[in-house]
Amino acid sequence: MTLRFPEGFLWGAATSAYQIEGGADEGGRGPSIWDTFSHTPGRVIGGDTGDVATDHYHRYRADVGLMESIGLNAYRFSVSWPRVIPDGDGAVNQRGLDFYRRLVDALGEADIEPLVTLYHWDLPQALQDRGGWMRRQTAFDFARYAEVVFGALHDRVTLWSTLNEPYVAAHLGHYAGWHAPGTTDVQAMMSAQHHLLLGHGAAVAAMRAIDPARRQGIVLNLEIPVATGDSPAVLDGTRRVEGLLDRSFTDPVLAGRYPSDVIADLAPARFPVEPGDLEVISTPLDWFGVNYYRQWFITEAGMGDLPLSEFPGCGHVSATTAGQETTDMGWPITPQGLIDVLTWLVDRYPGHPPFMITENGCAFDDPVAEDGTIDDRRRIDYLRRHLAGLHQVIEDGIDVRGYFAWSLLDNFEWASGYSKRFGLIQVDYDTQARTLRNSARWYAGVIAANGIDAPPLR
Ligand code: IFM
């Protein structure tokens, strides 16, 4: 049975600057917090860094050719702030802007619609030295950077996203300490979160002032946790995870408030809200991006196999993958969760803008066969099942305009370095040779048919 998607559906793949570009010291780029973090011993598995990554900075034309060969009609990438404004708030580096201009032009020639993300976690180190996202001024520095990039590219780029996954930047970067800048403090987390969101709103306003016809959005990672029992601890833990991961981002952006239970749970730490901030943060958007990978199944402390240490105040619960297939990240494969998250959004925020699935994918490392092919049937199965779920919600009337597989290429998977492979395309890091996995060929068929041959969702 072929499940067809709406006419004009965007079929893309996604990447981010630090994960693929390399060229860390080239073209006038300044250092970012991820350069500092990855060069700090013990922070990234294997001591890996993004210095070279997939060398996309030099190979972008060939990479656009690979996108064309898959038939992508959209490509989501991020701009490196320190490539464009090396010290964060000073002089603009024209060579940095030129790189993105060339990339956007190459995409245009290939008839691939660009979706530009302005911030995918690579804050200029110079701004971090002055407090980074914990400092209010960084929000306005971000808006100015957005204005600079938008000014250079808005003639060619319709789709804009301010932030990618501010949860990860704020919570994993400032509370768990697993991501740059590696801070471990609840107040730092809350300040970073609020200033990221304020920067989002301020950037949207700045870009709309230049050209209101472009389509502004944000990308959040959302996963609605599931309680595996009804004990008070499990119910409370599930509420807390949902509050920290989902509502404390969706409520300010889509409803102009922070959730009162999260505020109470985290006190005496606080979101440093000033008058007018929530109006700025909740400025209406043209589209809303959801990154979806896995679900959290909440159980009693000690009963689960996944720690919940990234969630403050959740020591009384853990997460379990019992009975679930998992990816190389240890994440359960739960396509139903994609349906749950979109349904949750629609129910909770009646005035929501159209959605796009801006990331979805899995890490699996399958060998190259003698004939040169890579049989990654687990990735195909993952993608097919999630697309079947997506098709179901679209049939149910939810307005979803596009889907971006994570990722186009294997790349620098943050604290996991190069040890986890998410690509439709395999990268040999010794030679930088690219090989299309079978999933890339399968995805090409999906795009050509604008649909999937899908068994029912399992
Ligand atoms: O690689 C990341 C990406 O940068 C953001 N979303 C999740 C991906 C997989 O962990």
Q: 16, 76, 121, 420: which to mutate for ligand 1, most atoms within 8 A of CB?
A: 16
Ligand 1 site, CB within 6 A = 16, 19, 165, 291, 359, 406, 413, 422
CA distances (Å), 85 to each of 71, 201, 219, 412, 422, in order? 33, 20, 22, 23, 29
Ligand 1 atom 10: the closest Cα is on which residue? 413
Classify residue 46 by burial, with Cβ atoms within 10 Å: 0-12, 13-18, 19+: exposed
Intervals of the chain under pLDDT 50: none
- The Cα–Cα gap between 315 and 334 comes to 24
**What's the gap in Å between 216 CA and the centre of ligand 1?**
21
**What's the gap in Å between 111 CA and the centre of ligand 1?**
26
**What's the gap in Å between 413 CA and the centre of ligand 1?**
7
User: Are the C-beta atoms of residues 138 and 99 closer than 8 Å to each other?
Assistant: no
pLDDT for 458 equals: 54
Q: Has this prediction a pTM greater than 0.95?
A: yes
375 forms beta bridges with: none
Q: Can you tell me which atom of ligand 1 is nearest the CA of 413?
A: 1
Summarised one tens digit per residue, pLDDT across range 56-96 is 999 999 999 999 999 999 999 999 999 999 999 999 999 99
Q: Can you tell me which atom of ligand 1 is nearest the CA of 422?
A: 9
Give the other-Cβ count within 10 Å of 314's Cβ: 22
pLDDT for 457 equals: 59
User: Are the C-beta atoms of residues 179 and 192 closer than 8 Å to each other?
Assistant: no
**Residue whose C-alpha is closest to residue 197's, from 272, 113, 104, 289:** 272
Q: Give the residue numbers marked as catalytic.
A: 165, 359
Tell me the domains of the chain and their CATH numbers: 2-449 (3.20.20.80)
Longest dimension (CA), the chain: 64
Place of tokens 């050509």: 448
Ligand 1 atom 4: the closest Cα is on which residue? 16
Instruction: Tell me if residue 50 falls in helix, strand or coil.
Output: coil
- The Cα–Cα gap between 155 and 323 comes to 50
pLDDT for 454 equals: 75
Place of tokens 């709309």: 208
Ligand 1 atom 1: the closest Cα is on which residue? 413
pLDDT for 401 equals: 98
**What's the gap in Å between 326 CA and the centre of ligand 1?**
16
